[in-house]
Structure formats: C-alpha cells, structure tokens
Amino acid sequence: MTAWFCLAACGLLAAQANAAAVRGTVFLDRNGNGRRDGGEKGIAGVLVSDGRTVTVSGDRGVWRLESAEPEPLVWISTPRDHRLAGPFFRRAGGQGETGFPLVKAPQSDHFYFIQMTDTHVGRGDLVSQFCSLVNGFPEPPAFVINTGDLGSGLDTALPGPARFDDYAASTASLRRPLYHLPGNHDNVGMNNPKALRGHPDFGKGLYRRTFGPTYYSWDWGRVHFVALDASRIPYQEALGEEQMAWLAQDLDRQPAGKPVVIFCHQSLPALRDREVLVRVLAGRRVLAAFCGHLHRNEIHRMAGFTVYHTGALSGSWWSGPNVDGAPQGFRVGAIAATALSTAYFGREGPWPAAISRPVLGEAQSGVAPVAVSVLDFGRTVKVNAAFASRPLRMERARPGRWWSEWHGSLDSAAVPDGRAEVAVTVRREGREAAASTQFIAMNGKNLPPAVQAPGLIRMQISGVDAPHPVELNGAPLGSLPAGLADRTWVEYPVPASVLRRLNTLTIRVRDRQPGLKDEFNVGLISLMAGGAASHDGCRFFEAWRYDLGPRKEELTIRLCLP
C-alpha cells in the first residue's frame, strides 16, 4: 500500500466518523434482463467505490463499504470479459441491496479504442455524422471515450434549465460502449455569477446525475483504464486530495505490472498537483495518457510515459480546424497484448487519413519526408499525394491491422518560402477521403508578398513593466509600452518594403531592473497586409498566447502572407 494512500486514508477516516454502511451485490446476469433471478451467481473480485473508498466484492459477489453520505453514488470498475446490463453507477442506501448486473462478454487482448474530445455540441449533426462513421467501420472499436467538454455553454448556463440533451441525442446512434469524463465547460453555472451555488445541478451535479461519477476505472483486455476529473471549483486544474486517494486505492488493487492507460480532459503535465500524481503513479506501468482541452494535437512526456493531447472533434468550436491547424478529428489507440500505438485522424470518412510528416507548422528545407497513416482496417486502398501541383509517389511502408503507414518525399524548394501544403486522398471502392497539412518552406527564396501594401502588426499585452524591442524581419518597429492595463491592444505599422511572404517577428525581453527580467504575456498576434491576415505559422486563428520572462527571453514567430 502506498505511503500517499496511507496519509490520505487517515484524513478520510476522520471525515467518515459518522459514516453509514451501504451494501450490495455484483452478479452474473445470465439472461441480461438487468435484475437478479434465481440461480444467478455473484461475481467476486469486482472493485466497488463511492469515490472515497474502494472495496472488492466477496465470494458471493457481496460488497460493503462505509460512506459519509446516506445515499452515496456508488459505481463498479467493470472487470475484463464482462459488459454491463445496466448503468455502472447507482445511488446506494435506503431499502434493500444495490445490485450491479454483469453479462459475460469475452474480450481479445488485441483491440482498438477511439478518443474523441471537446465536442462542444452546438453542431450535434456533425457529432451524429461521426457516430455513423464509427458504426460503419469494418471492425468496431472496443469502446469510444469522450474526454470532456461534451456540450456547449453549460458553464455559463443557470442550473435547472441546463441539460445534456443535445449531446445525448447526437451520440444516441453510437453502437459501441461510450465512456465520458467532464471538461471544464461541463460544470454547470461555474462561470455565471448569477448561478445558485446550492442548486443540485450546479457544478458537477448535472453531470453526475446524467453520466455518473466524474472519475472511475474499468478493465478491457489486459489493460486497466482510468478516467480522471481535473476541474476544481472555483476553477483550478487539479485532481484534489480525495480523487488522488481514490486513485491510490484503485491502483493498489491492481497487479504491479498491469498496464494502465489514463484519460483526463486537462493536460496532466499542467496540473497543480502534478507532482502528487507522479508519486501515486510511481512503479506503475503507464502505457500513455490521453487528454483534450487544448484544441491542439501535440505530444508531451511526463514521468516516463507519453501524454497525447488530442485535437478537438469540434476543431475551433465548429468554425474550422483546431487552433494549431490540425483538422477536426479523433485519436485511435491500438492495444496489442500490452503494447500501445496511436494515431490522429481527421473526422472525415470513410477512410480517415492522418499526415504525420511534414510536421504541422514546422520549417522544412530541401527534400523532406512525407508520412501518412490511413485507417484502412487492413483493406487495400489507393493513396495519392500532391505538393505544389505535382503528384508525389507514396508507398505502403508498414501495413497494420487497423491502419497502415505510407511514405514518400517532397522537395520543399519547389515553392517560395512561406506556408506550403501537402494534400492526400484515399480511395477504395469508389469512395474517397481527403487530408492535408501545412508547413513552412525555408530555402532562401523569400519573395515579396503578392500584394504590395503597408502592413499592421497587432497584439495584446499583459503585465509589461519595462519597454521591450519589437522587430519584423530585422527592422525595428518600436517597443512594447510599459504600464498599460492587462490585455491592452498595441499596433505597429509596417512599411511595404519590409514585408515578405515569410515574416519573422521578434520580441526581446529587457530587464525590469538590473539583473531582474520582466515577466509578461503577449498574445493574439496578427499581421494584416493587402487584405490578408496572418497568424503564427500555420495556426488557424490568432488566439495563442506566449509567456515571456526569465525562462524565455526572446519570442520569435513566423507570419506568412500570400
């Protein structure tokens, strides 16, 4: 038992001095009718929890736990080779026992799952369209998980009228198990000062009533999956002591070498109690973590495992691609025994494709590799790629059970310096899917923009206490003014003679006092010229902020014009 769990448990025991006992059974529902009939035996070894305590069902499937609530929300961790014959959570207490019916459902050690995130349902038709795409896959996923921000506007809505109805309707057609966890925007009324804090639907109340616990676990194949909730109210990105104690107990019930996969809406490396989480996970075989929240598709490392930040299915809130230019899409994770592989795909079917090289927004010089993943389920597909109006030869380099990898190359010098695009089409049986990505070509061919006109740099600044020089393409534009109110807009005219197709904006940090660097924030940067607007690299829009100061003393970003 971990030291962290022992410390946390002591605090919980004090809080549960007047706890009430709740009990129930986990049983094999042989006819799948959701109730226990004569002769249906209990199932031992199933984890049961109220979010504070984790217990295990006994030989006859009987479980018992002490809860601080008279009728707590109790749930089970669905064991391998079983599926639920009803909800995995129930209100316990009152009259009689709380039963959890399970049905036998053999599972393979080789399977794949789908992570979608940030659906922000305001375009329920497109979410329904995605569910239809998944239903039509030649091989179904083991399960689908939505890692938060399910609906739209719930955090500013008043408790009572707020509902998840639109989201529920948009996913109703999905024919595979669907798991959920909450995002920050799923906390009802959190950002509405008029919201009644004592209303049962406030904050997580509506989510818990609709979807059950905000953190929980389950097994599939040989892997233990864990869903976490990192939204604290008032808003903080942290798991909190109670959830961390639960996680420690949950993991202590797993064999030491059992693979673990984690899901969370917020970025795990950014959590306030990240170091506590690292201690709880110490010694565990964490295959990966999958997060959302950022509306970006990027990868980080944390405490020896990979954290995948998956682009939003809604992209920029259904107005276009994600903020980093990644398409509206989803992530596939494949498990082969105890090994994990993953790829991101655009939401367009029927054979979704993902371009992993050239890397979105990165600079390329000369010949550069092209790599494409196609969710083809082992079927024969035809992949065509094009760059600068020229076809690229693509070869299937690595076939796979669920997706294949295709490799080729391009010559980035075929276009002027600036934003460039690779386009891919995938065809099979007369049906076609498309994908594209953008990168920065840099080969010393930096031409003037197509339209010769003066430009304007605009940006928001916060916390600037000293003037800092601003340059474009090496030409001084002025300084960031000090002492302005936070989120103040500043503008810098740019002569037409300075502008190029590929422009480099530089801000250098000066000392606020001798030996003391200023710490400030710059964001929403744009370059406008000749009717065209450009933001950082290949990002879709300008909502991108940068922290500068002692750890980052110079900001350099690229702004491309046609």
Pair 187, 271 in one domain: yes
CATH assignment of the domain containing 416: 2.60.40
60: containing domain: 3-104
Q: Which residue has the higher pLDDT, 20 or 397?
A: 397
| Residue 362 is assigned to a structural domain of this protein | no
- Between CA 514 and CA 454, with CA 477 as vertex, the angle to 5 degrees is 170
pLDDT at residue number 483: 93
- pTM, two decimals, is 0.89
Residue 74 burial (10 A CB sphere; 0-12, 13-18, 19+): buried
pLDDT at residue number 12: 44
Pair 12, 154 in one domain: no
Pair 460, 435 in one domain: no
- DSSP element (H, E) containing 5: helix 3-15
Token pair 């919201």: residue: 195
Rounded CA-CA distance 516/520 in Å is 13
Please write the tens of the pLDDT for every residue from 89-119: 999 876 567 899 999 999 999 999 999 999 9
| Residue 474 is assigned to a structural domain of this protein | yes
Pair 418, 513 in one domain: no
Pair 142, 229 in one domain: yes
Pair 308, 259 in one domain: yes
Q: Is the pLDDT of residue 15 over 50?
A: no
Rounded CA-CA distance 231/266 in Å is 8
Q: Pick from 44, 72, 104: which residue ends a domain?
A: 104
Pair 80, 209 in one domain: no
Of 245, 214, 229, 277, the residue nearest 13 (C-alpha): 245
CATH assignment of the domain containing 287: 3.60.21.10
Please write the tens of the pLDDT for every residue from 275-306: 999 999 999 999 999 999 999 999 999 999 99
Pair 327, 377 in one domain: no
pLDDT at residue number 11: 45
| Residue 261 is assigned to a structural domain of this protein | yes
| Token output for 419 | 């934003």
Pair 145, 221 in one domain: yes
Reported confidence tier of residue 533, pLDDT bands at 50, 70, 90: confident
CATH assignment of the domain containing 19: 2.60.40.10
Pair 137, 247 in one domain: yes
**Number of domains, the chain:** 4
Residues ≥6 apart with Cβ < 8 Å to 114: 134, 141, 143, 144, 145, 330, 331, 332, 333
Percent pLDDT > 70 in the chain is 95
Q: Pick from 104, 125, 145: which residue ends a domain?
A: 104
Tell me how crowded residue 524 is: count the other CB atoms within 10 A of its CB. 16
Pair 306, 191 in one domain: yes
Q: Is the pLDDT of residue 4 over 60?
A: no
| Residue 79 is assigned to a structural domain of this protein | yes
Please write the tens of the pLDDT for every residue from 221-252: 999 999 999 999 999 999 999 999 999 999 99
| Residue 357 is assigned to a structural domain of this protein | no
Pair 504, 387 in one domain: no
| Residue 446 is assigned to a structural domain of this protein | no
pLDDT at residue number 2: 53
pLDDT at residue number 10: 47
| Residue 352 is assigned to a structural domain of this protein | no
Q: Pick from 441, 465, 496: which residue ends a domain?
A: 441
| Residue 360 is assigned to a structural domain of this protein | no
